[in-house]
Amino acid sequence: MATAKKSAAPAARRKRGQAAPAQGLGAGVQVRDLFALLEPVVTLLGGVVGENIEVVLHDLSAPGSSVRAIANGHVSGRNLGDPILSGPREDAGFSELYRDVAGTGTISWSIVDAYQTTNAAGRQLRSATLLFRDGVGLPVAALCLNADMTVFEMAHGWLEQMLHRKPKPPRSQAPAAGVGLEAMMQEIIDDAVQRFMKPPALMNKEEKMYAVEAMMHRGLFLIRNSVEQVAAALGVSRFTIYNYIEQIKQKKAASRQ
């Protein structure tokens, strides 16, 4: 009578941002070989995953200039030779660097996946780190992915708006009693900006000019200090707003000729 094989015990579920157990690459692989293998992988992944996902390879033996290879560096604003501290904030991968690991005699690797970070511009990123250690257990290299979630969040918001569109209440001819001037100004600014369904930081010049023109049509710039308020909302200087207004006026004048 054949005996039944015992099934392997299920692996313990890891929390997000927690490293997977280290695994080895084999005795023949040296640290110098590791970078030779991983550098073309950075280029390969960078061309496939999309421009909103950064792929970066760190040489952890040189933290002051750790970026050995990088693709889509605009996500974090980094370039070749930048220090490791130039990366996203709240990086859970750092905690794995400080973890004591016994050497295996060969290069080993572990993964820290699915954790949130923030780039210098304040955008939320979804990050993951593949950390490599040498034969004595010291960190030598890190292959990291940092995905800018802004595009996905915008797409999600647009789909939600389209799928669950609610009829807008009719706009009253006169302002409701008790609504202050500041609130009216803010409503005009919000209405002009929200047409693009993206944060002002992602709006290009033409979109910002279109928003300014929409505000002009509602008389916003007749109010004192409105230029400063619009400049703050769009993330530009007040001189830029004056320039937009002048360009819009010139465009309208040319169209009437």
pLDDT, tens digit, for every residue of 190-219?
A: 888 888 788 888 888 888 988 898 888 888
The pLDDT value recorded for residue 41 is 95
Residues 49 and 137 in one domain: yes
CB atoms within 10 A of CB 168: 6
Question: Residue 91: which domain range?
Answer: 31-154
Task: Return d(Cα 73, Cα 91) in angstroms, integer.
Answer: 16
Is the C-alpha dihedral spanning 86, 89, 90, 93 positive or negative?
Answer: negative
Confidence label for 5 from pLDDT (cuts 50, 70 and 90): very low
Residue 13 counted as domain residue: no
68 Cβ contact partners less than 8 Å away, ≥ 6 residues apart? 35, 39, 57, 58, 59, 80, 141
Half-sphere exposure of 229 (CA within 13 A, CB side): 19
DSSP state letter for 49: S
Residue 111 lies in a domain: yes
* Strand stretches in the chain, DSSP E: 23-24, 53-59, 67-71, 108-118, 124-133, 139-148
CATH for 43? 3.30.450
Residues 101-123, mean pLDDT to the nearest whole number: 85
Q: How confident is the model at residue 62 (pLDDT cuts 50, 70, 90)?
A: confident
Domain count, the chain: 2
Instruction: Write down the pTM of the prediction.
Output: 0.56
Average pLDDT over residues 103-130: 87
Nearest residue to 109 via CA among 81, 125, 129, 87:
129
**CA–CA distance, 116 with 204 (Å, rounded to integer):** 27
Residue 9 lies in a domain: no
Residues 81-94 have a mean pLDDT of 85
Q: Do 35 and 150 lie in a common domain?
A: yes
Q: Does 234 fall in a domain?
A: yes
Identify whether 3 is part of a domain: no
- For the chain, what is the radius of gyration of the CA atoms? 26
Pair 150, 201 in one domain? no
Domain shared by 108 and 216, yes or no: no
Residues 122 and 217 reside in one and the same domain: no
Cα 184 from Cα 223, distance rounded (Å): 11
Question: Other CB atoms closer than 10 Å to residue 33's CB: what's the count?
Answer: 12
